[in-house]
Amino acid sequence: MTEPTSQPSAQPVATIHLSQLLKSPVIAGSGESIGRVDDLIVRLPGGDAYPPVTGVVVGVGGREVFVSAERIAEFGADRIVLSVNKVDLRSFERRDGEVLLKADILGHRLIDVAAAELVRAYDVELDETPEGWVLARLDTRRPARFFGLLKSSGGHASRDWKAFEPLIGHSQSMTIRGVSARVRGLKPAQIADLLEDADKHERGEILDQVHGDPELEADVFEELDSDKSSRLLDAMSDSEVAALLGRMRADDAADSIMELRQSRRRRVLDLMPAGQRVKVITLMGFNPDSAGGLMNVDVVSCTPDSTVAQALSIIRSAHALQPEALLKVHVLDAGRLAGVVSVIALLQAEPDSAVTDIMDADPVRIAPDADLTDIALLMADFNLYMLPVVDDEDRVLGVVTVDDVLEDIIPDDWRRREPAPRPAREPAPTVKNPTQNSDGAAQL
């Protein structure tokens, strides 16, 4: 009986690690060694393509020269063989848009978009494709050490290049990279965490990424700790600070104003939009750790004669308010607090019902001079997500929301602890275009 013939397995894609290739000899077509590999050059393409290798920086007699990828006959882990016998010995000069793998990526940090954190690239993997060699993956695992010496771990924890947003460190490539929609798609708190972990240069690039979206920039600054926010604001002009604070929540803007040098505060306030300026000045009159200092002065309210449908319409049109400030509608009678009604109660009631029929006519409230402990205890005892702040005549001054309380009550040493790992989603694998064999059948 004839043994069945097995189908040939697919040929694996050739892969080379940059760490193997650096310092490898560069051989001329004649067989003569002309230098060693100092670096590889790639270009960052538009769209979803992998960066192609466009050339090699070769160390020749104490200088660095450029060899185009078109002149490479053999690209191996232990050597590069050229298709020519001579190379141009003019010193290498980087052109706009070029990225050097060793100088710009190896040892530098990039944004892991899925995990929203900065990671360091310890090695680079290159794949051979029909169009040439491309930058395919990064190894972000720190090499093991044995008695202070680097020790090979016998494998690579590599991940797809497309999972990262590069912070290249080269201003001429910034225009090519542009503003990444992936970075701007992160949550403001995640971008704030990146800024707090970044060094001066990385921080500048991240800020450049979000500066084109003014609303996102304001949200990010609301999430920054006061020390970091203060240092960033110090580097901005008065007009830039005023524009930024004008888009922030009034309570966060007031905190930021107080972090400015006293000589700048009045100048920045004068440049802010009039409505926001009034809110900020009002909040600055309270102790920042009191209910008055923590409250948001923007509240959603209706009159006692309103219907459920009208109250919901007020919520629907309150686009400028933070979502956490819309959890309850305050029922005001001649400016005084007559009651509160939750959004859930409104949604469950008949549209033509009177708000007064379903409101809490004796809501928990707090004075503006109440301290953080009082606020936290009231919220915990009554299971509240927001708490109205009222003056002596029961007029609503603002609301304190649970996120503001948590932000102030979390101990500083909790903020310094290593965060729990976030679930990370890898990008969908790229399907290669099929090629045809000699019989015309498509192969992957």
What confidence score (pLDDT) does residue 203 get? 87
Q: Which residues pair with 124 in a beta bridge?
A: 138
Q: Residue 81: CB partners within 8 Å, gap ≥ 6?
A: 27, 29, 72, 73, 74
Q: Residue 303: CB partners within 8 Å, gap ≥ 6?
A: 331, 332, 333
Six token digits for residue 260: 């400015």
Burial class (CB in 10 A: 0-12, 13-18, 19+), 347: exposed
Along the 444 residues of the chain, how does pLDDT read in single tens digits?
444 443 433 444 689 999 999 999 999 999 999 999 999 999 887 667 899 999 999 999 889 999 999 999 998 888 999 999 988 888 998 887 788 999 989 888 888 888 888 999 999 999 999 889 999 999 988 766 544 554 444 444 688 998 888 776 555 555 455 546 677 788 999 999 999 998 888 888 888 888 888 999 999 999 998 888 999 999 999 999 999 999 998 989 999 999 999 999 999 999 999 999 999 999 999 998 899 999 989 899 999 999 999 999 999 999 878 888 889 999 999 989 999 999 999 999 999 999 999 999 999 999 999 999 999 999 999 999 999 999 999 999 999 999 888 888 877 666 555 555 555 555 444 444 444 343 433 332
For residue 142, the 8-state DSSP code is P
Angstrom distance (rounded) from CA 245 to CA 3: 78
Strand 80-82, strand 25-27: pairing: parallel
The kind and range of the H/E element at 132 are: strand 132-139
3-state secondary structure of 154: coil
Angstrom distance (rounded) from CA 279 to CA 249: 10
Q: Which residues pair with 56 in a beta bridge?
A: 40, 67
Q: Residue 228: CB partners within 8 Å, gap ≥ 6?
A: 195, 196
What confidence score (pLDDT) does residue 432 get? 43
Q: Residue 199: CB partners within 8 Å, gap ≥ 6?
A: none
Burial class (CB in 10 A: 0-12, 13-18, 19+), 348: exposed
Q: Please report which residue ranges of 260-371 form alpha helices under DSSP H.
A: 262-271, 274-284, 291-294, 308-317, 343-348, 355-358
Look at phi and psi of residue 107 and say left if phi exceeds 0, alpha if psi is from -120 to 50, else beta: left
Q: Which residues pair with 112 in a beta bridge?
A: 117, 164
Sheet with 158-160: list strands edge to edge: 15-17, 123-129, 132-139, 158-160
Give Cα 60 to chain centroid, integer Å.
Answer: 41
CB of 303 closer than 8 Å to CB of 331: yes
B/e letters for 204-214, b = 16+ CB within 10 Å, e = fewer, are ebbbebbeeee
Beta strand spans in 140-176 (E)? 144-146, 149-151, 158-160, 164-166
- Number of Cβ within 10 Å of residue 119's Cβ equals 17
Beta strand spans in 83-121 (E)? 98-100, 109-112, 117-120
What confidence score (pLDDT) does residue 225 get? 87
What confidence score (pLDDT) does residue 83 get? 92
Angstrom distance (rounded) from CA 170 to CA 22: 21
- Number of Cβ within 10 Å of residue 161's Cβ equals 22
CB of 52 closer than 8 Å to CB of 42: yes
What confidence score (pLDDT) does residue 439 get? 41
